[in-house]
Homo-oligomer: A and B are copies of this chain.
Amino acid sequence: MRGQSLGQIMQKLGPVIGLLAIVIVLSIMSPQFLSLDNLLTMLRQVTIIALLAFGMTFVILTGGIDLSVGSTLALAGALTAGMMASGIDPILAVLLGVLAGAVMGAFNGVIIAKGKVAPFIATLATMTIFRGLTLVYTDGRPVTGFTDSQAFDLIGRGYLFGIPIPVIMMFVIFFILLLILKKTVFGRHVYAIGGNEEASILSGIKVNRVKIGVYSLTGALAALAGIILTSRLGSASPNAGFTYELDAIAAVVLGGTSLAGGRGWIFGTLIGALIIGVLNNGLNLLGVSSNYQQIVKGAVILLAVLLDRQKSS
């Protein structure tokens, strides 16, 4: 990281230090916390939010936001389960499910890029629409009764070399996305648009196309998250993913990506998702009463962001 000021490096280290602090506190308070088994369990739980947050990172880097990821997750999960239940080959169903997510994302992208609607309000509307579609499609009931395909079960519940497959998928996707952001023209354009959209247009960047791409990617990742969840649960609930968008956004921001766009990194998002996952896991391990869990989670997020801001100013 040549050429980066001390301030920038501290800024980047902030989330890692936060995560470490929480991990240290939890491992002192709960002896089970650091067991390999628990860590793997926690990682597997994090997968869903991490996938949503990865996509959200791209969206936020362009200066946008996507509130519809939770609903996309639910609709894509339900569609995939429904297709399998109606006899479509599981692998094909998964691919179509991810495609459906990408299409939903592209729909967001088109409204935002071509329709010039503020991302917040566009995806707030599609959040409602996609959730409504899910309810209509499932009639408010979990979709079950899809074939007990071994392959499909593996997606959410399998292991490879003792590591849960969702966790492996999460890391593989993480590295691909990291590469896209750091090494490709598309990734560079994502940062440029968030940094200065006007200047990006004037530099010949096809801003609309990049935005649509980013929302499609986010939709596809949300769909994948929905499919993993469906596989893990053996059913697709119409309520799946409700308010997950908030966790995903929190993960991105905790990781140090600026909501104003143009600045951030996906490694931070991974850390942010882990902070949220570790907190949830830890609060359960410690048996904190339900009423207090929300207070603790909110306070920790606030504290983490506050400390981070303090340091950087």
Contacts and interface: CB of A to CB of B under 8 A. Distances in A.
A125 B299 contact: yes
Interface string A115-155: 11110111011111101110110011000000000000000
Contact of A253 (B118, B126, B250): B118
A254 B259 CA distance: 22
A260 to B, nearest CB: 8
A23 interface: no
Interface stretch (A76-84, A207-215, A305-313): A305-313
A301 interface: yes
A282 B70 CA distance: 27
A116 B313 contact: yes
Interface stretch (A47-55, A159-167, A289-297): A289-297
A85 interface: no
B295 A125 contact: no
Measured as residues with beta carbon below 8 angstroms from the partner, the interface class of chain A is 35 or more
If over half of A's interface residues share one DSSP class (helix, strand or loop), that class is named, otherwise mixed; here it is: helix
A133 B259 contact: no
Interface string A267-300: 0000000000000000000000011111111110
B253 A306 contact: no
B291 A121 contact: no
Contact of A295 (B124, B132, B246, B306): B132
Given A111-B302, A259-B118, A306-B111, A295 B253 contact: no
Interface string A233-260: 0000000000000100110010000111
A294 B131 contact: yes
A292 to B, nearest CB: 7
A133 B293 CA distance: 10
B133 A302 contact: no
A260 B121 CA distance: 12
Contact of A117 (B125, B127, B306): B306
10 contacts: A115-B309, A116-B309, A118-B259, A121-B249, A125-B302, A128-B298, A131-B294, A132-B297, A132-B298, A135-B294
8 shortest interchain CB distances as A-B pairs: A132-B294, A128-B298, A132-B295, A129-B298, A135-B291, A125-B302, A125-B298, A136-B291
